[in-house]
Amino acid sequence: MDIIEIIEHKRDGLVLSDEEIHYFIKNYVSGEVKDYQASALLMAIYLKGMNDHETAVLTEEMRKSGDVFDLSDIPGLIVDKHSTGGVGDKVSLILGPMVASCGARLAKMSGRGLGHTGGTLDKLESIPGMRVILSEAEFKKQVTDIGMAIIGQNERLDPADKKLYALRDVTGTVGSIPLIASSIMSKKLASGADCILLDVKYGSGAFMKTLEDAEKLAFTMVNIGKRLGKNVKAEVTDMDQPLGMAIGNNLEIKEVIDVLNNRGSEDLKNLCLDSGAVMLVQAKLYDDIDLARKELEKNLLNGRAFKKFVEFVAAQGGDTSYILDPSKFEVAKNIIPLYSAKDGYVSRIDALKIGVSSMHLGGGREKLDDVIDMSAGIILNKKVSDAVKKGELIATLYTNKENTKEIEEVVVSAFEISDQKVTKNRENLLIQ
């Protein structure tokens, strides 16, 4: 067996054997298979596809290519959650304390933001003192003791994905559903959780632009979970407008605090309640999603979810005085209000434009080594279906940069105003 033969098989549309996939991953990680050969196979997969069995085998081989976390000594079923990325997506920071307040244990490894999507770790690091790197022993102890931990990804986890992802990015093969699914699922499965909830987003601010493609990806990942014996469910959710009202790191932490105190954006709160209920059922803490949702709602009202967030921040070294008094967070020196040019109803908010604008204000990274301004970002003052008057405030920009006229124009153009009120976005789809 050699890599050229494997490339030719997939080029000709044949199904790769388990042994061929094992050979490719093992020898690519070791360096025996070269980047130019891996590029040829990735393009063949992009063009010819993979069936469910091939995709599951690829995922498992990638999972086994590095460290695999063993969380079996933590009591109960461990839950994890993954989002395919979006604008204003701070769900994990709300969902973790909510489900932990109901007795679940969430063990999550997260990444940093790049381009128009924000990273959970960057948001956490806007809290002074917050540590996102823990040893495996610290990670397990924290999940056991307080019910949740969110940390940076272990560098030794899934080296096959690191190499393949970098190669896909420069060879035009990012958009293959088998390659996307195996990338996401191999990391999640290596992280050691018993139950995984996936949030697959679609729309202007998401990687998957259409509902059809998002559903395909969700079904593919759930099927991988089933084939590999894991409890995996997926929600397909809308990202045609930003999630919540805040985009930007400490601005989003303030919104997390609001939602955990039962205030803030209804779309964000409802998504967290829906997702949390599914996770509690996955963890076998409740038999019924409606009952689980009611318990989550109760813990927002009685303060237990917020108390759990404070406990989580303290456990990872964060200064909880900022959580108890969000006015302590740094505020950007330039606060720029933006107004509607006409009467009507907000029919759409282009999430991609908003995300890119927040990045240009300083709230994100264009390149991996860019330094983020934790105070920069955008607060939305209107959402889809809201009525708006000419001259009414629609968004507020926060930045320490000067000369932001072009960014201001892009943000205003992201708001589409129509004469007729539009209905809000469709309900989330649960795939299980």
Q: Give me the active site residues, please.
A: 82, 161, 168, 183, 187
Q: Within 10 Å of residue 30's Cβ, how many Cβ atoms?
A: 9
Q: Within 10 Å of residue 36's Cβ, how many Cβ atoms?
A: 9
DSSP 206-225: SSB-SHHHHHHHHHHHHHHH
Residues 6 or more apart whose Cβ sits within 8 Å of residue 271: 91, 237, 243, 428
Quote the CA–CA distance of 220 and 415 in Å, as a whole number: 34
**Token duo for residue 352:** 């991609």
Quote the CA–CA distance of 126 and 415 in Å, as a whole number: 28
**Token duo for residue 165:** 């992802």
**Token duo for residue 190:** 């290596």
Give 2-9's long-range contacts (Cβ < 8 A, gap of 24+): 3/27, 3/33, 3/37, 3/41, 4/37, 6/41, 7/37, 7/40, 7/41, 7/44
